[in-house]
């Protein structure tokens, strides 16, 4: 190869720019995945998949979160509910064995919370579900996710929809306890 020295020198600029963009992209990816609410979602004690259950197998949200319509808390399914199916379905799978271990020691499965709502905020599922607001308006397409990403619910998010739907925006009275 016969490269002119001037050409070599000119090549430094693209090399520098490439390096710079690699560093910027790596930095972006790092912050994206380490910022709570945007990362992949917490690793759970059993890799329960909403995609498999609510998506592929089309099990209704309310089957596992039965109180979402009637109470402030949607509820997470107790291990008995998992075993209702898994005493029959893939019963020898090692994750199902782990369900049995929780069940027989009467230990609730220590699910990690993905969603964050600041503590002083009063949020009530009931009021929203009864107005026919779909789960996905706030939680996204849970049925396509293996792991729930969750998010940090900021006031802006609540207010934007409340304005659009003419709901109460007097938040200091209704949302902040």
Could you list the residues that contact ligand HEC (CB under 6 A)?
44, 46-50, 52-54, 57, 59, 61, 63-65, 68, 73-74, 76-77, 81-82, 84-86, 89-90, 93, 95, 99, 111, 113-115, 117, 121-125, 127-129, 131, 133, 135, 137-139, 142-143, 148, 150, 153, 157-158, 161-162, 165, 167-168, 174-175
Residue where the block lists tokens 């509910």: 81
* CB closer to ligand HEC, 18 vs 124: 124
Q: How far is CA 126 from CA 7, 97, 106, in A?
A: 69, 35, 30
Whether 51 and 146 have beta carbons less than 8 Å apart is answered as yes
Give the CB-side neighbour count of residue 143, counting CA atoms within 13 A: 14
Output the smallest distance, CB 69 to ligand HEC, in A.
Answer: 7
Whether 27 and 80 have beta carbons less than 8 Å apart is answered as no
Output the smallest distance, CB 45 to ligand HEC, in A.
Answer: 9
Distance, first Cα to last Cα, the chain: 74
Output the smallest distance, CB 31 to ligand HEC, in A.
Answer: 22
């Amino acid at each position: 190869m016969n490269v002119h020295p001037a050409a070599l020198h000119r090549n430094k600029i693209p090399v520098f720019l490439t390096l710079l963009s690699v560093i910027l992209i790596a930095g972006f990816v790092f912050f994206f995945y380490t910022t709570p609410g945007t990362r992949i979602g917490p690793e759970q004690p059993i890799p329960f998949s909403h995609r498999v259950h609510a998506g592929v197998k089309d099990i209704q949200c309310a089957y596992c979160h039965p109180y979402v319509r009637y109470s402030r808390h949607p509820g997470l399914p107790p291990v008995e509910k998992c075993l209702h199916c898994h005493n029959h379905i893939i019963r020898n799978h090692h994750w199902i064995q782990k369900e049995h271990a929780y069940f027989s020691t009467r230990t609730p499965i220590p699910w990690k919370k993905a969603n964050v709502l600041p503590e002083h905020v009063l949020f009530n599922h009931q009021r929203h579900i009864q107005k026919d607001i779909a789960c996905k308006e706030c939680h996204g397409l849970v049925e396509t996710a293996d792991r729930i990403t969750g998010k940090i619910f900021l006031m802006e998010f609540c207010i934007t929809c409340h304005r659009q739907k003419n709901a109460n925006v007097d938040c200091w009275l209704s949302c902040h306890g």
